[in-house]
Structure 1
Amino acid sequence: MAGSTAIPTRREPTPEEFVAMQQSSEFQELRSTFRGFTFPMMIASLVWYLLYVLVATFASDAMARPFLGLNVGLWLGLLQFITTFAITWFYVKWANKNIEPRAAHIREVMEG
């Protein structure tokens, strides 16, 4: 057909190639970089969430105090959402810079 664009064909890597790539230093570095960011961020967000639950459970009087037109508990609840979105935004920016280029290179090597 005139004017149609050809879809590039990709090679399907063999199971042995997947295992070899998984054991390569390039993949191990990518995995280490990913884990170095995500694990601490996950732990921090879980601690923040558990702190919120514990304060709500054991310091309900403090959570009920008025603050800027709402009570402290509502403000902390809103902060839970805000920090979740902030962490997601920060991760996307970080991953686009630190993970995606490396993953794209590995994909290119694997698929040809």
Structure 2
Amino acid sequence: MTQVVHTPITARAPEQTGVSFGGITGHPHTPPVPSGAPDFTAIHDSAQFAALRSRFRRFVFPMAALFVCWYLTYVLLAAYAHGFMSHRLFGLVTVGLVFGLLQFASTIAITAAYVRFARKNIDPAIAQLRAEVGVSDT
């Protein structure tokens, strides 16, 4: 049968357990910052990083809103416009089927647009910021 330890972890010293859990258990332990490491707080507060976040958001938020509107339009049409969505374009192909396939096509197009945007606008700025703070690309 398994033995149960009646002493909670917080009551035992880290020397006894060999484990330190940081601030959760009452043994505050902040790992030392290695010398020569980038100051991530300063990077986060820098104007360059703020501009990078802003550039990212100016692409992502409108694109996400556009896609959500397009998706909700498709769902609402499928739910409430049965006559329109079941209209046959040719053979067995209906408007609903075409709109459904366009959901996949729009997802691929948005992904390709983001990759292009990131390669052109985001990646060079990140590389420059990393070079300035001395972080290697590996």
TM-score of the pair, normalised by structure 2: 0.68
Match of 1:67, SS state, is strand
Q: CA RMSD in A?
A: 1.6
The letter of the residue matching 1:51 is T
Query: 1:43-65 deviations in whole A, cap 9, x for unaligned?
Result: 00000000000000011121111
Give the superposition deviation at 1:77. Answer: 0.2
* Identity among equivalent pairs (%): 44
Q: Comparing both structures, which one devotes a greater share of its residues to helix? A: 1
Runs of 4+ in 1 over 2 A off after TM superposition: 11-14
Determine which of 41, 58, 62 is the counterpart of 1:40. Answer: 62
Q: Write the mapping of 1:1-112 to structure 2, written as runs, cut at 5 A.
A: 13-14=37-38, 17-69=39-91, 70-110=93-133, 111=135
> Normalising to structure 1: TM-score of the pair?
0.83
Deviation (angstroms), 1:12? 6.6
Q: Residues of 2 paired with 1:12 and 1:84: CA distance?
A: 42
- Structure 1 residue aligned with 2:3: none
Shift of 1:94: 1.0
1:84-109 deviations in Å (ceiling 9; x for gaps): 10111011011100000001111222
Change over 3 Å in CA distance of 1:12–1:92 after alignment to 2: farther
Larger Rg, first or second structure (1 or 2): 2
Aligned length: 100
